[in-house]
Amino acid sequence: GPGHGHWSYADKDEWQLEFPFCGGQMQSPINIDTNSTIFSRELQPVVLAGYNLDPSEQLSLMNNGHTVVLRLPGSLTIASGYPQEYRAMQLHLHWGSPEGPGSEHTVDGRRYDGEIHMVYYNPSCGSIKEAMKKPGGLAVLAAFLQVGPEDNVHYQPLLEQLHEVQEEGKETTVAGFNIEGLLPANLGRYYRYSGSLTTPPCYQTVNWTVFSQTVLLSKEQISLLETTLQGDDDTDLQNNFRLTQRLHGRKVLASFQ
Ligand SMILES: NS(=O)(=O)c1c(F)c(F)c(SCCc2ccc(C(=O)O)cc2)c(F)c1NC1CCCCCCC1
Ligand SMILES: [Zn+2]
């Protein structure tokens, strides 16, 4: 609850008492109504640079009580798809439970099993702390996770370490791997809109990209994500998604017709 700066997905209606931006008019996530999106030929395919990390590189993986976060080197950049330069900060996941799906964005009212967020900052906005408070200071590449017929080998380096960070606050390291493999193959078909962090402090400074093509993981991999981690006071870390927010007149662009 409000007052001591700590928040949970259980009291998401009270976030705005403590974090005023959470009650703003440019909040995320949103439902993407595919009949209302506007095609924009300016939206070029997203091109990523520097993502095939050498196994000698050690990345921090941490359970921060709200999600599992993989810290990313700033050498990972978005080379195209945005007019500004963006450098990677971290990636994290959102998921549901064995009882139901847990993506943050929805498409035509459909919630997917999970969602990956790769978070970037615009270095011309200064430090990360300054960038996250400036419009366009942050960019998030989002992709939906969906149950498919077989294991997704690209997710194994992450998922096989989850048991090492089962408790809140636990941290481990993951050897460098091909981070781009965590995203869909087709980075040319996406939705773009201006929104916010989906967690307090809900800064309205995020340039969102939501890929149309989903990422397929096996049922066992999705189940591992849903049943391994613990949040506060040893409760299962599940359903770590915020409900969709009103557009308040915002337009959602599409890179495809
Ligand atoms: N979907 S999202 O991108 O808004 C998002 C979430 F939904 C998230 F739930 C999270 S995790 C909750 C926020 C948090 C808590 C602890 C720590 C820490 O101990 O270092 C850090 C962050 C989370 F970390 C993020 N992304 C973060 C937002 C907080 C800080 C801004 C820069 C990194 C992006
Ligand atoms: Zn997120």
As a whole number, the mean pLDDT across the chain is 95
Q: Which of 66, 92, 94, 105 is catalytic?
A: 66
Query: Cα(67)–Cα(70) distance, rounded to whole angstroms?
Result: 10
Q: How would residue 14 be classed by pLDDT, with cut points 50, 70 and 90?
A: confident
pTM of the entire predicted model: 0.96
Q: What is the DSSP letter of 7?
A: -
Whole-number Å distance, alpha carbon 215 to ligand 2 midpoint, is 16
Query: Cα(198)–Cα(92) distance, rounded to whole angstroms?
Result: 12
Q: Which of 119, 238, 240 to mutate to test the pocket of ligand 1 (most atoms within 8 A of CB)?
A: 119
Rg (CA), the chain: 17
pLDDT in tens, 58-114: 999 999 999 999 999 999 999 888 888 999 999 999 999 999 999 999 999 999 999
Find out whether the beta carbon of 141 lies less than 6 Å from any atom of ligand 1.
no
The three state secondary structure string of 224-238 is HHHHCCECHHHCECC
Find out whether the beta carbon of 197 lies less than 6 Å from any atom of ligand 1.
yes
Tokens coding 174: 């993951």
Atom of ligand 1 nearest to the CA of 242: 7
Torsion of CA 50, 52, 58, 62, to 10 degrees: 90
Q: How many helices (H) and strands (E) does the chain have?
A: 4, 16
Active site residue 66: yes
Query: Cα(181)–Cα(179) distance, rounded to whole angstroms?
Result: 5
Residue with structure tokens 């050897």?
175
Nearest partner of 254 among 198, 196, 203, 208, judged by Cα: 208
Residue type, 175: A
Alpha carbon nearest to ligand 1 atom 22, residue: 64
Q: What is the DSSP letter of 208?
A: E
Query: Cα(217)–Cα(255) distance, rounded to whole angstroms?
Result: 25
pLDDT in tens, 17-50: 999 999 999 999 999 999 999 999 999 999 998 8
Res 138 pLDDT > 80: yes
Q: How would residue 5 be classed by pLDDT, with cut points 50, 70 and 90?
A: low
Query: Cα(55)–Cα(51) distance, rounded to whole angstroms?
Result: 12
Atom of ligand 1 nearest to the CA of 89: 33
pLDDT at 147: 98
Which ligand sits closest to the CA of 9? 1
- What was the ipTM of the complex prediction? 0.94
DSSP strands (E only) in the chain: 31-32, 38-39, 47-49, 58-63, 68-71, 77-80, 86-95, 106-107, 110-111, 114-121, 138-147, 171-175, 190-195, 206-211, 215-217, 253-254
Find out whether the beta carbon of 117 lies less than 6 Å from any atom of ligand 1.
yes
